[in-house]
């Protein structure tokens, strides 16, 4: 077959494919046919080339079916994909000599909450290295990791999240484990032809999947190939999300969502509460409450039971929205309000943040909640200095009468008297006296 015939046949194939028809397969040994399709002869014969990684693990190329299931779990539709801000996002620490060396940069709105969730696990591992002698009585000193300690904490955080989400498999080569983690890494060429069934984004169609059955092997792989998630110009955040979904299993996610939601992200690639619960609690529940709610406020049966969390989350979640009426505010259940670690993701008026306390037994011993300090981090470069907030629950806060919120105040007046973040903390620690230590309050 000459070049002209190959080009003509390729054009006719495109016409038939758009109309849902398919030409019969043909075989050609000519190099021209491969050049027309945009692939080299060696690629067409031997298949896609795996990425160049520091590992002996033989990955497998992603299939069209797996890619479609991934997209449906994320967006409910295989023809939707991540936005530009996600494509530009990777995991990056602030400088180790900065005033906030424990913080990951989260300047982009779309993936910000994911970065903060990972940062919560980074904080967890940094706190685990604080000894009793170093820990201050009121928890005023945040961790100050070196560049090496930053890397160690990020590796631990990524592995911790993925291992917690790993599903049990029967084909595990490890008799002691029976769990599987799947890491997604892009290759250089497409692993399949989308043919209109899936919107190509130059990432998902090139993925290679690497399976791990032991934590030690997982840590070695991520440490050696950390640039996959942290490299400048890379799509580390997207690759980590894909790894999370495949590790937990798309069927498990659909089961946990139930009939309440079709996906864990919105159509414009904004994470839902199910996404956050999946990362911090290990289950894609759509709700903030604990247990299963079967009745409404009037005691009537709900058409669909609302399944919340049934065990304490490792990282907590706190919520406040000033537009809600005081009598109808969203209540956060104890499984998220009192986590296993003194670390909380916050959502205040639609904006995400991170709160943590260096007193590791804060959530284990009520006596430590008398007087302590928490650190607040928003992830954005606009926050130059750390924010330390002292909380005193020993006696009810005595406010200036002119600053007390009344029934007649509108939202602007309430915000002036008591910032939204302060009201969120007041919901967690009622009537506590909150001191910003000279810092400007977050509204």
Please tell me whether residues 21 and 75 are part of one structural domain: no
Confidence of residue 70 (pLDDT cuts 50, 70, 90): very high
Residue 336: inside a domain, yes or no?
yes
- The percentage of residues in the chain with a pLDDT greater than 70, rounded to a whole number, is 80
HSE toward the beta carbon, residue 389, CA cutoff 13 A: 23
Residue 45: inside a domain, yes or no?
no
- Look up the pTM and report it: 0.84
Please tell me whether residues 151 and 214 are part of one structural domain: yes
Into how many domains does the chain fold? 2
Residue 260: inside a domain, yes or no?
yes
Confidence of residue 216 (pLDDT cuts 50, 70, 90): very high
Please tell me whether residues 103 and 162 are part of one structural domain: yes
Per the structure, the complete domain to which residue 92 belongs is given by: 50-435
Please tell me whether residues 14 and 134 are part of one structural domain: no
In 37-127, alpha helices (H): 41-46, 64-75, 84-87, 112-127
DSSP 381-423: TT--S-EEEEEE-SS-----GGGS--TT--HHHHHHHS-HHHH
Residue 419: inside a domain, yes or no?
yes
Residue 428: inside a domain, yes or no?
yes
Which of 26-40, 164-178, 181-195 has the highest average model confidence (pLDDT)? 181-195
- The percentage of residues in the chain with a pLDDT greater than 90, rounded to a whole number, is 57
Reduce the DSSP state of residue 21 to 3 states and report it.
coil
Please tell me whether residues 98 and 146 are part of one structural domain: yes
pLDDT at 270 over 60: yes
pLDDT at 404 over 80: no
Return the sign of the alpha-carbon dihedral for residues 209, 60, 185, 150: positive
Residue 443: inside a domain, yes or no?
no
Confidence of residue 18 (pLDDT cuts 50, 70, 90): very low
Please tell me whether residues 26 and 133 are part of one structural domain: no
Residue 441: inside a domain, yes or no?
no
pLDDT at 276 over 60: yes
Please tell me whether residues 430 and 284 are part of one structural domain: yes
Residues 6+ away with beta carbon under 8 Å from 35: none
Please tell me whether residues 384 and 410 are part of one structural domain: yes
HSE toward the beta carbon, residue 89, CA cutoff 13 A: 24
pLDDT at 401 over 70: no
Report yes or no: 253 and 284 within 8 Å, Cβ to Cβ: yes
Residue 224 dihedral angles phi and psi, to the nearest 5°: -70, -25
Residue 44: inside a domain, yes or no?
no
**Mean per-residue pLDDT, 301-309:** 88
Please tell me whether residues 25 and 168 are part of one structural domain: no
Please tell me whether residues 136 and 14 are part of one structural domain: no
Please tell me whether residues 62 and 195 are part of one structural domain: yes
Instruction: Identify which of 175, 199, 223, 193 has the alpha carbon closest to the alpha carbon of residue 61.
Output: 193
**Could you tell me which residue, 140 or 236, shows the higher pLDDT?**
236
Please tell me whether residues 269 and 367 are part of one structural domain: yes
């Amino acid at each position: 077959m000459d070049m002209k015939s190959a080009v003509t046949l390729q054009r006719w194939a495109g016409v038939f494919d758009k109309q849902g028809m398919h030409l019969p397969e043909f075989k050609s040994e000519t190099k021209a046919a491969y050049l027309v399709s945009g692939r080299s002869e060696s690629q067409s014969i031997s298949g896609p080339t795996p990425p160049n990684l520091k590992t002996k693990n033989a990955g497998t190329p992603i299939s069209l079916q797996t890619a479609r299931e991934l997209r449906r779990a994320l967006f409910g539709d295989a023809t939707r994909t991540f936005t530009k801000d996600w494509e530009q996002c990777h995991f990056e620490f602030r400088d180790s000599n900065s005033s906030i060396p424990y913080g990951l940069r989260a300047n982009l709105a779309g993936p910000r909450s994911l970065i903060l969730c990972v940062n919560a696990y980074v904080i967890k591992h940094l706190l685990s290295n604080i000894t009793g002698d170093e820990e201050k009585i009121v928890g005023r000193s945040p961790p100050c990791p070196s560049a090496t300690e930053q890397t160690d904490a990020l590796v631990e955080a990524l592995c911790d999240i993925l291992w917690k989400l790993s599903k049990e498999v029967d084909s595990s080569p490890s008799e002691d484990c029976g769990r599987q983690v799947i890491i997604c890494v892009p290759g250089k060429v497409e692993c399949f032809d989308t043919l209109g069934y899936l919107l190509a984004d130059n990432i998902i169609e090139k993925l290679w999947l690497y399976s791990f059955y032991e934590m030690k092997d997982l840590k070695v792989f991520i440490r050696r190939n950390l640039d996959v998630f942290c490299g400048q110009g890379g799509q580390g955040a997207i690759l980590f999300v894909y790894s999370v979904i495949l590790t937990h299993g798309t069927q498990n996610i659909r089961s946990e969502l139930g009939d309440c939601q079709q996906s864990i992200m919105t159509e414009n690639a904004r994470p839902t509460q199910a996404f956050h619960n999946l990362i911090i609690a290990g289950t894609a529940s759509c709700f903030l409450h604990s247990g299963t709610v079967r009745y409404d406020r009037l005691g009537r049966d709900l058409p669909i039971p609302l399944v919340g969390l049934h065990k304490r989350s490792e990282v907590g979640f706190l919520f406040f929205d000033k537009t809600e009426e005081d009598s109808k505010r969203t209540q956060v259940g104890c499984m998220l309000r009192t986590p296993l670690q003194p670390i909380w993701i916050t959502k205040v008026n639609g904006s995400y943040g991170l709160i943590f306390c260096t007193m590791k037994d804060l959530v284990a011993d009520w006596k430590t909640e008398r007087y302590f300090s928490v650190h607040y981090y928003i992830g954005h470069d606009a926050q130059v200095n750390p924010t330390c907030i002292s909380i005193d629950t020993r006696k009810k806060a005595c406010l200036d009468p002119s600053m007390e919120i009344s029934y007649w105040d509108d939202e602007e007046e309430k915000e002036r008297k008591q910032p939204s973040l302060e009201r969120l903390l007041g919901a967690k620690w009622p009537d506590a006296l909150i001191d910003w230590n000279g810092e400007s309050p977050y509204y």
